[in-house]
A and B are shown apart, each in its own frame.
Chain A
């Protein structure tokens, strides 16, 4: 009978619990080892990447030395490689993009977290997330076709007129220049900053806002006093993440920056950033230039590293200052309480006298001006409420401004590609021959069949590799990593989210070229390159989702008798499931929108895939290579591909919201 046993007899139920417990322990420890192994493997991969790149760059570094950083001429024919103007242009465009994006992003964040009614808030934040998911090749396409003419014909001439065409706005306003590049970068980093700022604001405890309101603040004043301050750390994090993204953005900037190779003289000057010189020249470069371009990539990586380092330090300092540490009453914070003896006297009887310290409130004589304050209130209040209304309108304007590019992109894509998208053969046909309606009367639309298949295969392959690795690494960092190794790896992962993707493609291509050239350009290398892109994203979102699970959950599970590793596997992971899956989906969609990493690896292919060892096409490659073509049927296919890609992003975003309700802000990191 259960529970009934003599001295030497273990009741069967208890014995099976013990057996089960030890089995769980073994399983748990095995899992710990596995995740640690994966984390180490990830670190080794990053080290390999940096190593291969450094190895490729060594001849240029030896040959040019500091001229790379300080020289101002880039002539591959004479092997002169000086990237100083590129460094200047990179910093200039990124910082200007930040300057333009941050106020608007904050406005959007404030609108979403404080002012918007719930339904509006849901729709708008979904739209902002969609803005973040638009692939860069589409932004580049749109920027060249819509933004550049707008800048060249309207905005820049107006700017030149109002400033008299001096200093920052001197030179001819042609639309392809540093200003437009900064603007499109601002559009691209805005959703990241807005989403992270909003999360930071939402994380501020509700009661802080209510305290401010109870003091008689208007809603704007309450936000200013009680929300923006504590949210500063998160907002700063978002801003720096945006900066990192701006620094490494390649494809879009290459299309609109105008290719100037000297120091800029105004915002209307054309320029070249560190990322765009790589994009321009790498695929056609001879080995000396390849080496120099990879060296430039390392400079870029170095700048990204510095930005992230600065971000970490700043945020850590902010967190320390604003952290709400509930100190127990009998501990002593620095210099503010009287020495211990006077403080703790055991539990005093309620209502009893016995304390000798002067803690009694003193009746105070209040000056007349304080009483007068109330009388002055109505007038002041009108002004304050007017300020609140103005701020509300301003944030609404910011939101509209932020979403305008998305509306424009969608509108243009639907207008030009709408017909293709509703034609069934569009999804199965290969590209048709270029068709000039003047000479051909038998023009075929063609289709994106191979590109669609290629995108799916590449995403599938990349996800198969990246998602398990990313989740395991994220679990390790969140659950088991309390040591220096884990902290460094976490930091490194964050840096890797900002690496220019063309470098990832270069790394994989160079590695395979040395090993097995026949598959250097194939679906395999394309998938591997995309997976390297995805792993840091999945790792970060997994880590954050797990960290968001409160310790009380873990403790309750432990109290039920589960061994530690089992708790992680079953309980914590289960709680974080939504965030993890969302993060994985968003990383996959990010991979689907990638172009630069595929230029050399997947290479592009006009037919349905012949296997993982052969080149393969993707929607992004089609858009990138065919954009601007004068042939109407190819134009329509390009726009159709754009629209399909946008619709896929839209659907994934919608699906993750509906299925998982909330997702971590870190998932928008792209």
Chain B
């Protein structure tokens, strides 16, 4: 049998109806006059576009770096402060809300943006040691090893705000704030007292019906200024705490079987709020911004149980500032022992602290230093300790007492640039 007349083409088709088939060796007929359609692959095109976009963006960044594009730092007439200089800072997360308001106001007032990263008090100091930031902010003064990390470069230690530490807890059945004291807190955190209805606690809370529940102590897992304040307070009237745990942003916490460590101030507050029978410590600002979080009265040296508030905290700061003779701002070593806890006045809240900003005394040692930037740093520190204080209370921060404001402005004159006095601007 021979092939039927059907054209072979590519893969000869037989006519099923007739059951016949082309022979296997039929020569291909000439191709039909259609064009070969090629489908383009889209995938690579899309990827190429994305890559180009990303490269362009990166190139823009590089161009910024080389100052080919971007805001030119305008050279200002002598005497006026430079504009368009961006400062970077890092430090305590507790300060972040106030900082966020400060930078906005400072920028609109002076045209200089400031970027503050709340990486934590300890991380801020490490960053300043680099240096990879212009200033650091902490709620604790530097300790010896931190000072050593600056390898002899002197610093300016400047209080820029004040704050209070609240003891937070979660006791569902109890509606009004309980009272705690330094010794009792030390007992709780060392595990000497393990139950809420222990005699120590009941002794300072007459009439309060505590549950027979294990106290769950909560502390900060990361290095924290709040840990410093608490440990400072506990060391102040508790010799055994002072010798074993001491005062630091990182404590080797004594082992209690029901303790937990949480990373971050706000996370700790959240955890306490969500877990019954817990006790922890959070800065007052966060507490006042978290409705429903229970916080305790604390016995002050006069024996009064004080519920923390901006008034009694502010009063404590003022009292302590009047009583303490602060060291010069350029004597960082001396600030190590400055403690603002346990103010003696009867209406004062005992758990208070100063918040510090640190910069290199000789700003030439600083991060990507320049004269213009040094002047802006001066301007920034001057502003925060001056005009900026007005923004503290609305955000539940304690403003600096006037004595410290004066100290700050005087201390700023110690700033140098390249071993010469820093020419200030206005």
Contact = CB atoms under 8 A, between A and B. Distances in A.
State yes or no: do A and B touch (Cβ within 8 Å): yes
Nearest to B266: A628
Interface stretch (A172-180, A215-223, A324-332, A495-503): A172-180
Contacts of B257: 171, 265
B271 A285 contact: no
A629 B258 contact: no
Interface of A: 73-78, 80, 144-145, 148-149, 152, 171-172, 174-176, 254-255, 258-262, 265, 270, 280-281, 283-288, 431-434, 436, 439-440, 453, 456-457, 459-461, 463-464, 513, 517-518, 520-521, 523, 577-578, 581, 585, 599, 603-607, 609-615, 625, 627-631, 655, 659-660
A270 B117 CA distance: 29
A613 B119 contact: no
Contact of B54 (A149, A286, A456): A456
Q: Nearest 9 CB-CB pairs, A to B?
A: A284-B122, A259-B261, A611-B65, A659-B43, A434-B97, A460-B54, A521-B132, A628-B266, A283-B123
Nearest to B252: A75
Interface in B220-266: 221-223, 246, 248-253, 255, 257-266
Given A433-B104, A439-B395, A259 B246 contact: no
B58 interface: yes
Given A434-B101, A625-B118, A630-B289, A258 B260 contact: yes
Interface residues of B, number: 86
Given A459-B54, A517-B130, A659-B43, A432 B119 contact: no
Interface in B22-63: 42-44, 46-47, 51, 54-55, 57-58, 61-62
Contacts of B259: 260, 270
B381 interface: no
Contacts of A655: 46
A176 B54 contact: no
A77 B122 CA distance: 13
B43 A660 contact: yes
Given A460-B57, A613-B65, 10 more contacts: A75-B252, A149-B274, A171-B257, A284-B125, A284-B250, A288-B145, A603-B119, A605-B88, A609-B64, A625-B117
A77 B126 contact: no
Contacts of A513: 130
B252 A73 contact: yes
A555 B189 CA distance: 73
Nearest to A521: B132
Contacts of B7: none
27 contacts: A74-B252, A77-B250, A77-B251, A144-B267, A172-B258, A255-B267, A259-B221, A283-B126, A284-B123, A285-B122, A285-B126, A286-B145, A433-B101, A459-B54, A463-B54, A464-B55, A513-B130, A581-B47, A603-B132, A604-B115, A607-B113, A611-B64, A613-B65, A615-B115, A628-B269, A630-B266, A659-B46
A270 B261 contact: yes
Interface in B260-296: 260-267, 269-271, 274-275, 286, 289-290
B249 A453 contact: no
B274 to A, nearest CB: 6
Contacts of A439: 394-395
Contact of B86 (A270, A457, A607): A607
Interface string B57-92: 110011011100010000000000000001010100
Nearest to B257: A171
Interface in B344-375: 367-368
Contacts of A78: 252
A439 B271 CA distance: 25
A466 to B, nearest CB: 13
Contacts of B148: 286
A144 B251 CA distance: 24
Contacts of A284: 120-123, 125-126, 222-223, 249-250
Given A280-B222, A284-B249, A625 B55 contact: no
B122 A283 contact: yes
A603 B219 CA distance: 25
Nearest to A440: B394
A611 B60 CA distance: 8
Contact of A599 (B119, B125, B131, B214): B119
B130 A520 contact: yes
B169 interface: no
Given A520-B130, A631-B289, A625 B93 contact: yes
Nearest to B290: A630
Interface string B299-310: 000000000000
A611 B261 contact: no
A155 to B, nearest CB: 14
B149 interface: yes
B116 interface: yes
Nearest to B261: A259
Interface of B: 42-44, 46-47, 51, 54-55, 57-58, 61-62, 64-66, 70, 86, 88, 90, 93, 96-97, 100-101, 103-104, 113-123, 125-127, 130-133, 145-146, 148-149, 214, 216, 219, 221-223, 246, 248-253, 255, 257-267, 269-271, 274-275, 286, 289-290, 367-368, 394-396
Given A439-B394, A439-B395, A606 B54 contact: no
Contacts of A520: 130, 132
Given A175-B275, A456-B54, A460-B54, A585 B123 contact: no
A573 B328 CA distance: 69
- Of B125, B275, B394, chain A has the most CB atoms within 10 Å of the CB of B275
B61 A152 contact: no
Given A286-B146, A433-B100, A457-B61, A615 B289 contact: no
Contacts of B47: 581, 585, 659
A259 B275 contact: no
Contacts of B123: 283-284
Contact of A625 (B58, B62, B119, B253): B119
A161 to B, nearest CB: 17
Contacts of B125: 284
B149 to A, nearest CB: 6
Given A284-B223, A513-B130, A453 B57 contact: yes
B293 to A, nearest CB: 9
Contacts of B132: 517-518, 520-521, 603, 615
Contacts of A74: 252
A265 B132 CA distance: 42
Nearest to A513: B130
A584 B147 CA distance: 45
Nearest to B394: A439
Given A460-B54, A625-B118, A629-B266, A262 B97 contact: no
Contacts of B248: 77
A258 B64 contact: no
A628 B267 contact: yes
Contacts of B219: 259
Contacts of A77: 246, 248, 250-252
B57 A456 contact: yes
A456 B60 CA distance: 12
Nearest to B105: A433
Contact of A604 (B119, B145, B394): B119
A152 B100 contact: no
B90 A603 contact: yes
In this complex, the member of B42, B86, B148, B216 whose beta carbon has the largest number of chain A beta carbons within 10 angstroms is B86
Contacts of B394: 439-440
B365 to A, nearest CB: 11
A628 B64 contact: no
Contacts of B286: 630
A609 B57 CA distance: 11
A607 B86 CA distance: 9
A148 B218 CA distance: 15
B269 A578 contact: no
Nearest to A287: B149
A271 B252 CA distance: 14
B366 to A, nearest CB: 10
